[in-house]
Structure 1
Amino acid sequence: MNLFKSRVLLTVLICCAFNYSQSQKIINQNNHWIQGERLDLKTEGRDGEKAIGSPYLNANFQPARILVNGQPPSVIPNVRYNAHLDEIELKHTDGKVYFLNKNIDSIKVAFVNEKKTYMLFSPKNDGVKGFYVFLTTNDKVNLLKKESIRLDKGTAEGNGYSSPKPPSYKNNKDEYFIVSSDGLFKKLPRKKKEITNSLFPQYSKEITGFIKENKLKLSREADMIKLIGFFNTLQ
């Protein structure tokens, strides 16, 4: 083997080793993705596994592209969203389940098949840090959805009229928020008057006209997205 071929082979081996090491950022327990900086091992019973129902809107692990502080892993892991604990869970090939550490500043999880993107968001004013679904990607004002599932404790003992009830998961009604580039974070009202008076009172006339002209119903997500798009034309 001549010198040129040796150098080519050495370069290929180095690249392969580098790519392999990068892929382990999700799955190697000796790597910082799992040591607590980015991932924590999920322990049994953290979310009431004996309860009726599910803490997941979709319990299946699905491929997703993840950005943590702007850095992606070189593999596309299989993940799911725990709507009860507000956690993104990742399944390793060894069968163990990990969850992303929410102490990180920036996390973006884009599900490949569902076309759905969760982002870790920390409101500057009133609001709770957590994973929100970003329904729009505008420059000025965006619409976020908060999904959640509660765990009803049930009753350990019945009375003379009813039987004991086990704990059960119940879906909460989705909540919608707007976030603006200047830091505004506010729950989106579902009534027309509340939207015009509390969010953008200076555009009350324009917003009322747009809702009426387009026959928008603010109980429909698609119509809320249209309204947010119109907000951006007013800014």
Structure 2
Amino acid sequence: MTKRSQRIFSQWQRQLIAELKEICRMQPGEIRVAGKPRLEAEGDAVVTVGLNTGGLLQEPNGLQLRSDEEFVIRIGSSALLPPTVDVKHLRFVGFPHVLQGRRLCLFLDSSREWHPSFGMGGLLNRLWGWLADAAGCRFDPKTSMYHAVGGILHQSAGTPTIVFREDSPLESHQVARLVERSSRRLDLTLSTHMGGLRTPVFRLDSALPLGASSSFADLLSLIDDPYLRQGT
């Protein structure tokens, strides 16, 4: 019987965790690590940090922050993609640049805005700037939801993108057709004269701020109640 290989933090993850601990040491009372960093099965290093946000200017229509807020930082094994920042609650659901009710959209274009050389300090500065803009009501809601469902792109590896560009109004439910344009693209059309695969289409009466989940059963539950009756 072979010995099970033990999962360990990557060099990049160890670097950012060490930088985080040093920042906490240098700024006591402003930032703290809550709990021990852990490694998830998918390979992300996860660490929870607490920030003293009591000094941020709060506008009436801005994001309402408590004096101390906790954030979950997920660090991938590679420096090519920035770490992500989530919250554990639903108090921010529906606010601009909050994805699936919990993930903070710190980078609109990570390929241009993320610089690994800035390390954990750069990420925390980005998070602090996001919080200051959110609390100060400096976000434009019109530019925040660039993906339709929950604020993120829903896709499965190897499946094509469905494109719908017709001006015809959608009924509550109807039959449409999927026409293959390439191996990576299917066009959705309401025309009954087109060939292709027949598919049912349902128009929702509200957005899905928590996303569409990953199973059909959960999707049906979210359509019935987009907030899943959870307190925000």
What TM-score, normalized to structure 1? Answer: 0.29
TM-score normalised to structure 2 length:
0.29
Question: Higher Cα Rg: structure 1 or 2?
Answer: 1
